């Protein structure tokens, strides 16, 4: 077994980590960290549990410690669910001696930090050696992208590889859990839609091109097509919905678009990693799917569900589709866990 810890374990993403790691065949939770006000308490006493499933028995009696490398022993991997400002200070401290699989945005766009979706760009893990050399660390940091970016990029990767992409427009309808339990006041979202999510559009536009870029001699050159995003918060608990408009360089038809996404697999599927879905992208034919309540938990929340694939007659070689991805599973905790499974398998 591989001993793991969770940084920021009492928050919503920290709880997802616990839920997904409970009974994991490889990873064994031995340490939970949180703020000083929670340190010294049993996890059950320190945490208000937000998820539908009950708190696992395996973590109830673990004593929470302060988020400091000196407070944890004998850990192979730490999963970070920290807020970005805290992560920027704390994650490098842990990376001096630990493997850090981070969901935080703080280190994502650092030149020597791999930003990885295992089905999309596993070769970026080659940056680990560059990072360790640059920073003098025995450990390292690997990050996963923004939740909306992950869902979008999983659908773009097979299309980009086969047809090449000229430009992408995406309009997101994002669940409130993406902002954390206290992130959006109920009076702000009930009977409402909020047409702004701080830094979200910039993350999608930047991270997507980075993920689909090329790594050569330790340097990532981003993909060169255009990405334009508009992001909105809606009154859905879990599951981000995205309306995607894509113009490609090469001709295709709807059937080719659907089959290319549906047949897509990557290295995690080849290696049969525990958290890897059989199909990273599931394509549905019903005219009213996908829907977050009905489709967010596909493959345990690790698949992105696509529907309403149709030709866009406004432009040549253009198509439209709708996707749903579970933002706190595939878009957050599950993404970090899959990264860690890949690292554990190949490094």
Cis peptide before 290 (omega within 30 of 0): yes
Q: How far apart are CA 233 and CA 110, in angstroms?
A: 28
Q: Report the predicted TM-score, pTM, of the whole model to 2 decimal places.
A: 0.98
- pLDDT number for residue 73: 86
CA 279 to mean position of chain CA atoms: 16
pLDDT, residue 314, reads: 87
Tokens standing for 91?
A: 């994650």
Render each residue's pLDDT in the chain as its tens digit; 347 residues: 999 999 999 999 999 999 999 999 999 999 999 999 999 999 999 999 999 999 999 999 999 999 999 999 899 999 999 999 999 999 999 999 999 999 999 999 999 999 999 999 999 999 999 999 999 999 999 999 999 999 999 999 999 999 999 999 999 999 999 999 999 999 999 999 999 999 999 999 999 999 999 999 999 999 999 999 999 999 999 999 999 999 999 999 999 999 999 999 999 999 999 999 999 999 999 999 999 999 999 999 999 999 999 999 988 999 999 999 999 999 999 999 999 999 999 98
Tokens of 47: 């945490």
- Kindly list the catalytic residues: 147, 240
The per-residue pLDDT for 328 is: 98
pLDDT of residue 98: 97
Length of the chain: 347
Query: Are the beta carbons of 296 and 325 closer than 8 angstroms?
Result: yes
- Contacts of residue 328, Cβ cutoff 8 Å, sequence gap at least 6: 12, 13, 16, 147, 177, 178, 238, 301
Among 178, 296, 319, 149, residue whose Cα is nearest residue 244: 319
């Amino acid at each position: 077994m591989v001993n793991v810890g969770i940084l920021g374990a009492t928050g919503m993403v920290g709880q997802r980590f616990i839920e997904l790691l409970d009974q994991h065949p490889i990873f064994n939770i031995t340490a939970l960290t949180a703020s000083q006000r929670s340190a010294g308490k049993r996890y059950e006493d320190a945490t208000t549990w937000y998820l539908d499933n009950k708190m696992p028995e395996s973590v109830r009696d673990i004593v929470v410690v302060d988020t400091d490398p000196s407070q944890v022993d004998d850990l192979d991997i730490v999963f970070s669910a920290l807020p970005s400002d805290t992560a920027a200070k704390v994650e490098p401290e842990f990376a001096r001696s630990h493997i850090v699989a981070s969901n935080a945005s703080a280190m994502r766009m650092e030149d020597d930090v791999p930003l990885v979706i295992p089905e999309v760009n596993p070769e970026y893990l080659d940056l680990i050696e560059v990072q360790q050399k640059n920073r003098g660390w025995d450990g390292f940091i690997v990050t996963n992208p923004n939740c909306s970016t992950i869902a979008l990029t999983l659908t773009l990767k097979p299309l980009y590889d086969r047809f090449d992409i000229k430009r992408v427009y995406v309009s997101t309808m994002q669940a409130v859990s993406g902002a954390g339990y206290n992130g959006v006041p109920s009076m702000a979202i009930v009977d409402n839609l909020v047409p702004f999510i701080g830094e979200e559009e910039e993350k999608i536009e930047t991270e997507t091109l980075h993920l689909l870029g090329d790594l050569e001699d330790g340097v990532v050159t981003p993909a060169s097509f255009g990405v334009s995003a508009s992001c909105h918060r809606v009154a859905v608990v879990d599951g981000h919905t995205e309306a995607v408009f894509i113009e490609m360089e090469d001709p295709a038809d709807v059937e080719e678009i659907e089959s290319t996404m549906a047949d897509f697999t990557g290295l995690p599927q080849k290696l049969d990693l525990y958290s890897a879905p059989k199909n990273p992208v599931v394509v549905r034919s019903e005219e009213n799917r996908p829907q977050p309540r009905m489709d967010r938990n596909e493959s345990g929340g690790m698949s992105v569900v696509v529907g309403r694939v149709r030709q866009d007659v406004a432009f040549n070689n253009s198509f439209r589709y709708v996707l749903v991805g579970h933002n706190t599973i595939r878009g957050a905790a599950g993404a970090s866990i899959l990264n860690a499974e890949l690292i554990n398998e190949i490094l």
